[in-house]
Amino acid sequence: MWDLIWPGECRVCEAPVAGILCHECGPLGIYRINRRITGIETAITSAPYSAPVGNAVKLAKYSRNRPLAAVLAKRFADQVSPILQNAPFNAIVPVPSHWRKRWHRGFEISALLAIELASVARRPVVHGLKSTGASNQAGIAGHQRHTTAMSRFRSRCIWRGGAVLLVDDVLTTGSTAEACAQELLGSGVSRVFLATLCAARPSETSVQIL
């Protein structure tokens, strides 16, 4: 209420705004990710992983800004809501981070995204994966990153068919999503879809579909 009476500023670009995130620095729409990711049937995102939305995500994660992460998650759900309503998945699975990162940050942005998507899609969140290693993907070369990522996740449950919407904050090489999909499909999931808040190289990988 205070923000409506006395506007603050966007935490990313410092523009005057009611709240903590302006329109330009939040998720922008729905884009299909056209890149082939093994195991993923369809992938969507809501913004390119470049300034300003990418900056907002980095700020939320690396400055441990939970309120900003929560606003990003809410806006993400609002943007992708129209195509989630009748989408053929049964559960929403966040890409997990290692417990050390979760503990350091105090929250997990993929879990916040999953909770918001669950509320608009009316499907349950299932923490069906766990991270087995703390390897930092940033700064690792592509082929090494792929090898490292493929053994980073373990399924926490046995699935009896059913489709899953995998959720993460950022898509870069796609190797993390591929590793998660492989683990889920190996545990009995029949189909895996992917939704990420933003994705790298949008001009090559994404087409706005709404």
69, exposed or middle or buried, with CB in 10 Å at 0-12, 13-18, 19+? buried
Least distance to Zn ion, CB of residue 19, Å: 10
- For residue 121, give Cα distances in angstroms to 46, 79, 149, 164, 167: 16, 12, 29, 12, 13
- Of the pair 6, 103, the CB lying nearest Zn ion is at 6
Q: Among all chains, which residue has been given the structure tokens 């046995």? A: 158
* 10 counts as binding Zn ion under rule CB under 5 A: yes
How many Cβ atoms are within 10 Å of 89's Cβ, its own excluded?
21
Judged by CB under 5 A, which stretch of 2-10, 134-142, 156-164, 192-200 contacts Zn ion?
Answer: 2-10
Residues paired with 155 in a beta bridge: 129
Q: Does 13 bind Zn ion (CB under 5 A)?
A: yes
User: Site size for Zn ion, by CB under 5 A?
Assistant: 6
* Under rule CB under 5 A, residue 60 binds Zn ion: no
Among 3, 7, 16, 25, binds Zn ion (CB under 5 A): 25
Q: Answer yes or no whether residue 59 interacts with Zn ion by CB under 5 A.
A: no
CA dist 139 and 188 (Å) reads: 33
Q: Do β-strands 153-155 and 129-131 pair in parallel, antiparallel, or remain unpaired?
A: antiparallel
Residues 69-108 that bind Zn ion (CB under 5 A): none
Residue 25: CB minimum distance to Zn ion, A: 3
Report the interface residues with Zn ion, using CB under 5 A: 10, 12-13, 15, 22, 25
